Structure 1
């Protein structure tokens, strides 16, 4: 698939396809009855198996670019990705799709702060303004959902929203930890190592929690596979590829389409109509993320 991308597909078109693909993730998670950690495990594991043939054919020699430090960084990056998936998937059980996807997409805010703290990148006035606006939107959204009640916002919206923010934070750790490594290593070997570490982390958590890893019916396996092919292969893997060809700020801003797409799909497929507070707060959050991601420090 990545060979076709490199030869024929404009990066902006590939990025648009990726945004549509990741927008389906929340719906597929909601349709599944599997525990969130198990769901995340099989999504990542099946995506890894789909990527592996590319890694061990065309990109076999690229693994020589990894040294011991790179393997450690990739492992930590995969662990952060595992926590991101587990927290995000679990959040969907407790809050609305619109709130969960919007909040989990706030990772550019944490990336901006983390880059300033650890990579000595200047935040700048526009980024600081964007962060402040987005935080205000998060507070308004969470407070509004709490007051709206379970019929609109989910059974435990504050808890679910908190998990979504944790997912956003760990996504930022994933981005920051892998930034330097991604500049030196080809996309397929990179994602294979990171996805493998992510899958092993999720497997360890599932075993520690004594979660059932087998006994799922055909419907669940179809959902596992759909998560791997859609949001996994055509979503996040293509986004990683696009980072070679499109500015990271463009990618970050483009991903703001995920909350919009997921909310529309939730309305059409789950009959989940977001409350006015969720819509208003979500728009403020998206505005803040846009300012943060698009700003030049």
Structure 2
């Protein structure tokens, strides 16, 4: 971690704050889920295009077939992650949907072990279990509310599995490509996928309301270009497990925003679950930091 100027943990923290706005913006938009997802990625690609063409387009010549394959798969997973998650917000609360879609450690721990042979300490696994328990506590309130809310929770959980797969494939490619090139390629693939999807399901390409254009642009600028791009930058220095754990902070920010901006009630299980999540993630990141420092000291001797 010596050859980068920005602390990856700081970048990760900023990214989490940025993506916390996503559920709020999706919730207030009137357009169908696929349309929201499409324009979110479309505007992200559009804003990146000038910089990519001026400085990074030449890198496309050096992308291997394997990198193209992994990038395409990552783009597909990202596209359907957005579709499933945005749709879940039509059935369940911002707090529960955001918690479940960020319930990535379960998949990330398994994925990084089988894909990259990464082993976690007992403390790290325990802290992950604590954080996951917090997510279960939050979503338990929806189980008691209605079957529709539970269906929304299942959609959010599917979106969680997809975004974890997106990060796993991205972890492989990102180490060999620049941030701008990798992000532009994956976002472009996702945009094309989402365009085909909305045509296939016959969703209207024109937004339901004019104000949705504002929400699309904000989704592109804040949670996508700032939030997800910082995750893509951090993944060169940090593992998918670490990023997945940190993203569990997102429900806390999203729940607070939903309370003040949307008037959503915060029930006791959500507050207790949120506190448990914070404790679990804090323990994980502290342990992860200690392991990295110890590893650096051993290699510097």
Partner of 2:62: 65
Partner of 2:42: 45
The secondary structure found in structure 1 opposite 2:175 is helix
Q: Does the Cα contact within 8 Å between 1:65 and 1:184 map onto a contact in 2?
A: no
Q: Does the Cα contact within 8 Å between 2:70 and 2:169 map onto a contact in 1?
A: yes
Q: Matched residues in 2 for 1:215 and 1:256: separation?
A: 31
Q: Does the Cα contact within 8 Å between 1:98 and 1:263 map onto a contact in 2?
A: yes
What is the TM-score with the length of structure 2 in the denominator?
A: 0.84
Q: Does the Cα contact within 8 Å between 1:94 and 1:157 map onto a contact in 2?
A: yes
How is 1:1-297 mapped onto 2 (pairs within 5 angstroms)? 14-147=11-144, 149=145, 156-214=148-206, 216-244=208-236, 251-291=243-283, 295-296=287-288
Q: Does the Cα contact within 8 Å between 1:113 and 1:123 map onto a contact in 2?
A: no
The secondary structure found in structure 2 opposite 1:213 is coil
Q: Matched residues in 2 for 1:57 and 1:30: separation?
A: 36
Gaps of 5+ in 1: 1-5
Q: 1:146 to 1:185 in 2, by over 3 A?
A: same
The secondary structure found in structure 2 opposite 1:218 is coil
Instruction: Tell me by how many angstroms 1:123 deviates.
Output: 3.8
What is the TM-score with the length of structure 1 in the denominator?
A: 0.85
Q: Does the Cα contact within 8 Å between 1:146 and 1:158 map onto a contact in 2?
A: yes
Q: 1:223 to 1:142 in 2, by over 3 A?
A: same
Q: Does the Cα contact within 8 Å between 1:109 and 1:292 map onto a contact in 2?
A: no
Q: Matched residues in 2 for 1:257 and 1:142: separation?
A: 15
Instruction: Tell me by how many angstroms 1:15 deviates.
Output: 4.3
Moved more, 273-282 or 223-232: 273-282
Instruction: Tell me by how many angstroms 1:252 deviates.
Output: 4.6
Q: Matched residues in 1 for 2:112 and 2:286: separation?
A: 15
The secondary structure found in structure 2 opposite 1:227 is helix
Q: 1:15 to 1:120 in 2, by over 3 A?
A: closer
Q: Does the Cα contact within 8 Å between 2:104 and 2:245 map onto a contact in 1?
A: no
- CA deviations over 1:8-47 (Å, ceiling 9, x no partner): x776665444333211111110101111111001101110
Q: Does the Cα contact within 8 Å between 2:24 and 2:254 map onto a contact in 1?
A: yes
Q: Does the Cα contact within 8 Å between 1:108 and 1:292 map onto a contact in 2?
A: no
The secondary structure found in structure 2 opposite 1:106 is coil
Q: Matched residues in 2 for 1:13 and 1:123: separation?
A: 22
The secondary structure found in structure 2 opposite 1:210 is coil
Matched residues, number: 286
Partner of 2:294: none
Q: Does the Cα contact within 8 Å between 1:103 and 1:165 map onto a contact in 2?
A: yes
Q: Matched residues in 2 for 1:289 and 1:109: separation?
A: 13
Q: Matched residues in 1 for 2:166 and 2:14: separation?
A: 22
